[in-house]
């Protein structure tokens, strides 16, 4: 069914200047804009987001962490070897988190619309008290906390298909069940977390789901992980809101990821996620941009996902590889104490 798609974007996020040789650079958003505007997908509208407030950020991050980030407002510097800052980086980070919140608000107010927050800096590596891996604030975690604490959602499903494990999101909700975090990612790989045995603690036991994959995995492997792990768990969890940490660095063209997913494959994964949202969450689905460092792979994959959100499905026909099948079986064994997978 065709839907309207709201794209959250502001040119200020281009002013987060990491340097021309840094993989997470403004060219990423330029490439996405060019692809979307050339394609002219029906039902798409652009919307300027509002910056997140400090109170909204502190639902996830410690006061000391926010103070550390604020200390760089208006000046350049470096938080770690991977995470440089320019004069506008702090303002861009507040705007990126705000765009994720606004994406949730869009689908909350009108389930006939989907949303995609086209943001930088990305967020899923940022932990409660630490910026890392190009990320300052954890945009999707801040948005999920907003959904629970402000809008009253009881079961938020966060799906992270970035090639890197979303450690920050994982730890943000590791002891909570109001937000389930599903990660499928290359392992072992940066940041070194995300083993299948990491399933949550206390009230959150079983509500963190990790499906680590070996390098070289493609469309059929990811489809199999979604079919045999994500879909049955989502059916049991019955989320009332679905959010995606949409990283595209498992694309076959990506210089960092070492995976073999195609642009059409990402369209297929987005189609599967859209069906979960339609089945359980009245269609409420929002995507928040994470990684992806091939400009062609990134822009074309985003385009395919926007087409899905607007009503054009993609299907994956590939079968899983032998290595991928085995890795997914191992993850399912870890999860069977909690879920029928």
Measured between alpha carbons, how far is 139 from 169 in angstroms, rounded to an integer? 9
Give the residue from 222, 241, 236 showing the smallest Cα distance to 339. Answer: 236
Tell me the chain's radius of gyration from C-alpha atoms. Answer: 18
Q: Of 108, 124, 125, 170, which is the active-site residue? A: 125
DSSP H stretches of helix in the chain = 27-39, 54-57, 63-70, 89-109, 139-149, 167-172, 219-225, 231-237, 263-280, 295-309, 322-335
Burial label for 63, CB within 10 Å (0-12, 13-18, 19+), is exposed
Residues 6+ apart with CB under 8 A from 218: 252, 259, 260, 261, 262, 265, 318, 321, 324
Residue 131 phi/psi, 5-degree rounding, is -85, 145
Helix (H, G, I), strand (E, B) or coil at 269: helix
Whether 125 is a known active-site residue: answer yes
Burial label for 50, CB within 10 Å (0-12, 13-18, 19+), is middle
Catalytic residue ranges: 125
């Amino acid at each position: 069914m065709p839907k309207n798609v709201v794209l959250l974007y502001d040119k200020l996020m281009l002013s987060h200047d990491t340097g021309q040789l840094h993989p997470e650079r403004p060219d990423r958003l330029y490439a996405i804009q060019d692809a979307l505007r050339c394609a002219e997908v029906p039902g798409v509208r652009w919307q300027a987001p509002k910056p997140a407030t400090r109170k909204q950020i502190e639902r996830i991050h410690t006061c000391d962490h926010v103070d550390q980030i604020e200390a760089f407002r208006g000046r350049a510097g470096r938080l770690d070897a991977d995470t440089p800052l320019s004069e506008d980086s702090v303002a861009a980070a507040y705007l990126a988190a705000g765009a994720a919140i606004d994406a949730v608000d869009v689908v909350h107010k009108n389930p006939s619309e989907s949303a995609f927050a086209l943001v930088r800096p990305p967020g899923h590596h940022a932990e409660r008290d630490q910026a890392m891996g190009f990320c300052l604030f954890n945009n999707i975690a801040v948005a999920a906390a907003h959904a629970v604490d402000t809008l009253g959602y009881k079961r938020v499903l966060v799906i992270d298909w970035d090639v890197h494990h979303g450690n920050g999101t994982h730890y943000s909700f590791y002891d909570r069940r109001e937000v389930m975090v599903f990660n499928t990612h290359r392992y072992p790989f940066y940041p070194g977390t995300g083993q299948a045995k990491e399933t949550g603690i206390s009230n959150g036991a079983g509500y963190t789901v990790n499906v680590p994959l070996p390098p070289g995995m493609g469309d059929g492997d990811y489809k199999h992980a979604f079919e045999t792990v994500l879909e049955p768990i989502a059916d049991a969890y019955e989320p009332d809101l679905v959010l995606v940490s949409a990283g595209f660095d498992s694309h076959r063209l990506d210089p960092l990821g070492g995976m073999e997913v195609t642009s059409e494959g990402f369209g297929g994964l987005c189609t599967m996620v859209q069906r979960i949202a339609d089945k359980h969450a009245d269609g409420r689905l929002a995507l928040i941009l994470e990684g992806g460092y091939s400009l062609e792979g990134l822009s074309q994959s985003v385009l395919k996902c926007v087409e899905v959100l607007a009503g054009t499905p993609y299907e994956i026909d590939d079968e899983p590889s032998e290595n991928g099948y085995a890795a997914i079986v191992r993850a399912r064994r870890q999860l069977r104490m909690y879920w029928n997978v």
